[in-house]
Chains A and B, each alone.
Chain A
Amino acid sequence: MAATATSVLGNPNLGLTKPPPSAFFGVRVPPSLERPRRFSSAPRPTLAAAVSCTMTNGATVVEAAENRTPGVGLRPDPFGRFGRFGGKYVPETLMYALSELEAAFWAVSKDEDFQKELDGILKDYVGRESPLYFAERLTDHYRRPNGEGPHIYLKREDLNHTGAHKINNAVAQALLAKKLGKKRIIAETGAGQHGVATATVCARFGLECIVYMGAQDMERQALNVFRMRLLGAEVRAVHSGTATLKDATSEAIRDWVTNVETTHYILGSVAGPHPYPMMVREFHAVIGKETRKQALEKWGGKPDVLVACVGGGSNAMGLFHEFIDDTDVRLVGVEAAGFGLDSGKHAATLTKGEVGVLHGAMSYLLQDDDGQIIEPHSISAGLDYPGVGPEHSYLKDLGRAEYNSVTDQEALEAFKRVSRLEGIIPALETSHALAHLEVLCPTLPNGTKVVVCCSGRGDKDVQTAIKHLQL
C-alpha cells in the first residue's frame, strides 16, 4: 500500500500539478496550447483533507500539498479522496484488487505502447475525434428579440461508435483488463449504453462479458438489451430493490467480490471506489481536451460555459476536467428532477441529497434519515441513480461547478425540440442538458460560447418517447 502511495504521489499526472494535456490519453495537443497557470478567482478556504491512515509517506504528502493551487485540492489525493468525498468504502475482499487496478493504471499511463494502441483504437474504432458542431438553429432559437444571444455548440459524443461517450472508458478499461490478465469482464448498466459499450469492446478483444441490468431498465431500453446479446454478452436481470441502476451496480459489486481474482469490473461512471472515479475521468478527459483544441480552431478562444447531464457524472467530468483550472469557464451540470424536486420522485442527488456512502464512495446521495437509500426516479435510465460521482460532490461544495435539474417533461420537450431544430435525436439523458438551455440562455450575454456535451443518441429512447409524446 505504501509503495502504491509513493508512486501515486510521485506521479505528475495527479492533482493540480497537471501535465501538459498531451501527456495522457487521447488527443496530442501541441505544446504551444498549454494553458498558463492562473487562478483568477479569490482564493477559497482550503478544505481539510479528512484522511487518517497509518500507511502514508509523510514527506511526499507535504511536498504535494505545497504545490497545490489554493482553493482546489488534490483531485484525488493518494487515498482517492476529493476533499472529504471519494475513498474506498468496500468490503475488505476487494481492497487488494483495487490497489492492483490502481497500480496497473499508473503503469499504463506511462506506457507509450499502451497509449499508442489506445489512441489508435479511439481513432479508427471509436471514430474520434468527435466534432464540435455549431448548432445554428438552436442558437437562433435562443436569440433574443434584439438579436443578441449565446452561441450553442454541441460536442458530438453521440457520433462515437455505439452512440454514446461510454465507449471511451470501456475501450481503455478493456485494454487495462487484458494487461491485468483478466479474461472475464462484468459491468453494470442503466440505459444500456455502458453495457453496449462493454459488450462491444469485449467482442473486439475476445473477453467474456456479463452485464447486470435492472429488470425495469431492461424493459425500457429493450433495444440495448438486444444489442448486448447480439454482441455476445450475457445480460443478467437484477430484480432487487427498484430493479434499476443502483441495484445493478450492487449486484455487479457482489459478483466482483465473489470472482475478484478472475474478473475485472468495468465500472461505467466516475462513481464507485477509488481508483474508478479518477480512472474513468481520465479515460473520458479526451472529450474536454478535444473541445479545447476545437474551440481554439473555431473561434480562437475557450468555451465560456460547459453544460452536461449528470447521472453518475462521467460525460460531465470528461468535459469539465480539462477546464477545472480555467476559472473563467463556467461548469454547469444538469441532473434529473423526475416528477419534480418536491415530488419525492427524482434523481437530483446534488440538489436534494445528503452526504453518505454508496457503492464504495463517500458522496452526495439520496437517502432518508435512517441512512436507507431512497429509490430515485427519472424517465431516463442513465440518470436514474441515487448517487453521484464524488468529484462532482467536491466541485459542488467548492462552488466550482453549479448543478441544476430538469423534469421528465422538460427533458421530453427538449428531446423533441432538438430533433426538430437540428435533426439530431438526442438521448433522453442528453435531453436534460439541452432542456436546461431554456433557463440558462436568457441569462447569458451576447456571444457567450456555450458547449453542451451531446453525450448520446436517442434511438434507444424511441419506445419511451412513443409512450409519452404525441407526434
Chain B
Amino acid sequence: MASGTVAVAPNSCCFHVSSAKPRFHSILMNHPPKSSLRMRAQGLGISETFSDLRRQGRVAFIPYITAGDPDLSTTAKALKLLDCCGADIIELGLPYNNPILDGPVIQASNKRALAGKTNMEAVISMLKELVPQISCPIVIFSYYNLILARRSEWFLSALEDAGAKGLIVPDLPFEESADLKREAAKKNVDMVLLTTPTTTNKKMKAISDASEGFIYLVSSAGVTGVRDTVNRQVQFLLKEIKEKTAKPVAVGFGISKPEHVKQVSDTIDLLLSSLVSEINTSKMLLQLSLWGADGVIVGSAIVKLLGEANSSEEGLKHVESFVASLTAALPRGDQGLGEEHASSFILQQRRKLWQVPRSASSSSLHQHH
C-alpha cells in the first residue's frame, strides 16, 4: 500500500485473501469502507485527525490491540488491516506482565505476547517499518513501569522515532503526570489522559485541560473488558466535559461485547452468535455517537478475535468483518446523526438476520437476547 492511498474498492482493500466469504459478510460489504471517504494525508497527528472527522460529521473509530499477540507479524498485518478498513486512530498496547487495569481478555493477550518474547525494541522496529505505510495515527498504551525501566527520555525518543503520535499511561496519576507530559511534548508525542466516572468534577476539568490529542473517558468503574450496555453516566459525563472544553472526547472500556460463546464446531451457531454480538456492539456505538462522543475505543472484543483464533489469517478475517460491522454503526458524513441513521442501521441489521440460514440454532439466538 503506497502512502497516501485514498479510494479503495470494497473487497480488495484488505491485503489478505479469503476464499468463500460467509453470506452475511457480503451484506456488510455493500457499504463502502471508511477509507474511500478518507482524504487523509499520511502522518497526520491526533488533533488534526479529529478535526478532519468533525468536519466530515464522523465519529472516530479507535481500536486497541496488544503488540505481539499472537505475534508481531500478525500485529503488523492487523495494523494495516485496521488502517484501511475502518480505524481512524489505533491504540497499540505494550505487553506487560502485571496489567492491573486489564480484564481477563487483555490479560491473556499480554501473556501471549510476552510468551512470544515481544519486547520494546521489537515493537519499535516493527513500527518504524509500518508507520510510513499507514495513515492512522498510532497511540501507544503502556504501563508506567515499562517507561521507568527504560527511562522516560529513551522511551519517548523511541516513540518519536517509531512515529507514534500519542501515549496513554493508565497507572500514572494525573498528579504525577506533569513531568512525563513535558518530556513527551518535546518529542511531539501527545499525552492522552484518562477521566472516569469516579473522578471529581474539579479534577475532570483539570484533566480535560491538560490532556493532549483527545480526552479518554472511561465508561465505567472497572477494568478493560466486556459490558452488556453502556453506563448511563457516560451521557452525563460527556455533556459535562463538552461544556468545559472543545477537545475531542473518546469513550472506552466495555464498549463492545465479543462473542462469548464457547468454540462450537457448528459454524452456523458461531455465525449467529457473532452476528448477535455485532448487533449488540453496534447498538452501543450508535448510542455513544448519539450522546456526542467524538470517538469510540474498542479493545477487548478485537483483541479476543485476533488472539484466540486458530490461525493468524482466521483472526485477521474475523477482525475485518467485525470492524466493518462496527463502523457501519457509526455515522458517516453523508448521513446525519439521528433517527434516519438509526432506523436505516436497524433495518440493515434486521436484513442480515433474515439472511442467515436457520436450523436448530434458533435456540442459541434467543439465549443471547
| Residues of chain A whose beta carbon lies under 8 Å from any beta carbon of chain B | 1, 52-55, 79, 87-97, 240-241, 246, 250, 253-254, 257-261, 354-360, 367, 369-373
Q: Are B97 and A90 in contact (CB under 8 A)?
A: no
Query: Closest Cβ of chain B: how far from A245's Cβ, in Å?
Result: 12
Contact A52 B221 (CB under 8 A): no
- Cα distance, A369 to B148, chains bound together (Å): 10
- A-B contact list, 18 entries, CB within 8 Å: A53-B176, A54-B206, A89-B176, A92-B174, A92-B198, A92-B218, A94-B198, A254-B102, A257-B100, A257-B223, A258-B221, A258-B223, A259-B221, A261-B198, A359-B100, A367-B149, A369-B149, A371-B148
Most buried by B among A54, A240, A370: A370
> How many angstroms from the CA of A259 to the CA of B220 in the assembled complex?
10
Docked-complex contact A372 and B96, CB < 8 angstroms? yes
Query: Which of chain B's residues have a CB closer than 8 A to the CB of A246?
Result: 98
Do A257 and B221 touch across chains, with their CB atoms under 8 A apart?
A: yes
Query: Do the beta carbons of B146 and A54 come within 8 Å of each other?
Result: no
**Is B148 a contact partner of A356 (Cβ separation < 8 A)?**
yes
8 new A-B contacts at CB < 8 Å, known A53-B176, A241-B98, A254-B102: A54-B206, A92-B194, A95-B173, A95-B199, A96-B200, A246-B98, A370-B150, A371-B149
List B residues 29-52 near A (Cβ within 8 Å): none
Asked if A54 and B178 make an inter-chain contact with CB atoms under 8 angstroms apart, the answer reads yes
By the criterion CB–CB under 8 Å, are B196 and A250 in contact? Answer: no
Asked whether B98 lies within 8 Å of A261 as measured between CB atoms, the reply is no
How distant is the Cα of A443 from the Cα of B106 in the complex, in angstroms?
A: 52
**B208 within 8 A of partner (CB):** no
Indicate if the CB atoms of B178 and A89 lie closer than 8 Å: no
List residues of B (169-200) whose CB comes within 8 Å of A's CBs: 170-176, 178-179, 194-200
Residue B11 at the chain A interface, CB threshold 8 Å? no
Complex contacts, B111 vs chain A, CB 8 Å:
240
Chain A residues whose CB sits within 8 angstroms of the CB of B196 once the complex forms = 91-93
CB neighbours (8 Å) of B218 from chain A are: 92-93
Given A87-B176, A372-B97, does the pair A357, B198 have CB atoms closer than 8 Å? no
Task: Say which residue of B107, B178, B200 sits within 8 Å of A240 (CB atoms).
Answer: B107
Given A91-B101, A92-B196 in contact, is the A260-B221 Cβ separation under 8 Å? yes
Q: Mark B192-214, 1 if CB is under 8 A from A, else 0.
A: 00111111100100110000000
Does B222 lie at the interface of the complex (its beta carbon under 8 Å from any beta carbon of A)? yes
Contact B172 A89 (CB under 8 A): yes
A79 touching B175 in the complex, CB below 8 Å, given contacts A92-B194, A93-B196? yes
Residue of B nearest to A89 (CB): B171
Shortest Cβ distance from residue A364 to the other chain B in the assembled complex, whole angstroms? 12
Q: Which residues of A contact B229 (CB under 8 A)?
A: none
B291 in the interface (beta carbon within 8 A): no
